[in-house]
Each structure stands twice: as C-alpha cells, then as structure tokens.
Amino acid sequence: MAYQAKLKGGQTITLENQGDQTIIRVSSDGQRQSSSVTTGEWTMAPTLFQATSGAVVEIHTGAGSVYFQIGDGQLHSLHEAPDVEDAQHLGLETVAAGTGQSEMKPMAKMEPMKPMKPM
C-alpha cells in the first residue's frame, strides 16, 4: 500500500514502504523524482504537513519518527523534528503500491491514417 497527496505548486507526492525502504516520489509537470531511503518498517501511516519552507513528511517506525522536507525540488533528510505547529496538515489517500498518479498513463489508441489520393 502507498499514500499520495497533492502539494502546493501542483506537485504530487507518493510515499511507499517496501520492507526497510521508504520510497518517496515527487512528480510535477510530467517530471518525476524518486528517492529510496532506509527508514525501517512503518508502524502507521505517514503524516504530511505543508509548511512555508516546503512539505514535511513524518515516517513512523519502531525506532521513532523520521522526517523529510521537500522544497525547491529537493528532498532533505531532517535530523530532528521540525516545527510544524503553524503548518497545514495534508491528508494522504491510499493508492495501490507502485501505481500512484505520478505514473505515466498509456497513450490513447491512434486511428490508422487513410491512404492518400493519387495526384
């Protein structure tokens, strides 16, 4: 299972836990960045906040919480809990693992061209 949300600026974030790995995908305008970080297994769904400096992701693991910040197209690991008191809590929707909206959709079927008339 994965989680997905829309961020400020039209970006889409998808969070997925595969064993000890957390995969974070951020997509915008057809471009997509993906990072895999060793966090440990999640004990509950992640928490997402929109702060003035960017989006903050809190991953809950058996060893405690791990934090990441997404801003200016960059993903940063935070060494301590950020101040999210004034941040907006963003809801995450569940999506099938590996099938977030950031995935490219197949092209629509094209109709065959009609033969050209002789000149």
What are 95-109's pLDDT values in tens digits? 887 654 444 455 677
Q: Confidence class of residue 44 from pLDDT cuts 50, 70 and 90?
A: very high
Q: How far is CA 55 from CA 11, 47, 73, 119, in A?
A: 10, 10, 11, 61
Average pLDDT, the chain: 83
Taking the domains of the chain in order of start, what are their residue ranges? 2-95
What are 61-95's pLDDT values in tens digits? 988 899 999 887 778 888 888 888 888 888 899 88
CA quadruple 75, 80, 83, 88: dihedral sign: positive
* Mean pLDDT of the region 15-44: 88
Instruction: Please give the backbone phi and psi of residue 8, each rounded to the nearest 5 degrees, phi first.
Output: -60, 145
Using the predicted structure, report yes or no on whether residue 43 has a pLDDT greater than 60.
yes
User: 10 by DSSP, 3-state: which?
Assistant: helix
Tokens of 112: 């065959």
pTM over 0.85: no
Neighbours of 72 (CB within 10 A): 8
Task: Give the span between the Cα atoms of 91 and 50, in whole angstroms.
Answer: 10
- H runs (alpha helix) in the chain: none
Site of tokens 């989680």: 3
In this prediction, residue 101 carries a pLDDT of 44
In this prediction, residue 59 carries a pLDDT of 92
Strand partners, 68: 57, 77
In this prediction, residue 57 carries a pLDDT of 92
pLDDT above 70 covers what percent of the chain? 91
Task: Give the span between the Cα atoms of 107 and 83, in whole angstroms.
Answer: 43
Using the predicted structure, report yes or no on whether residue 47 has a pLDDT greater than 90.
yes
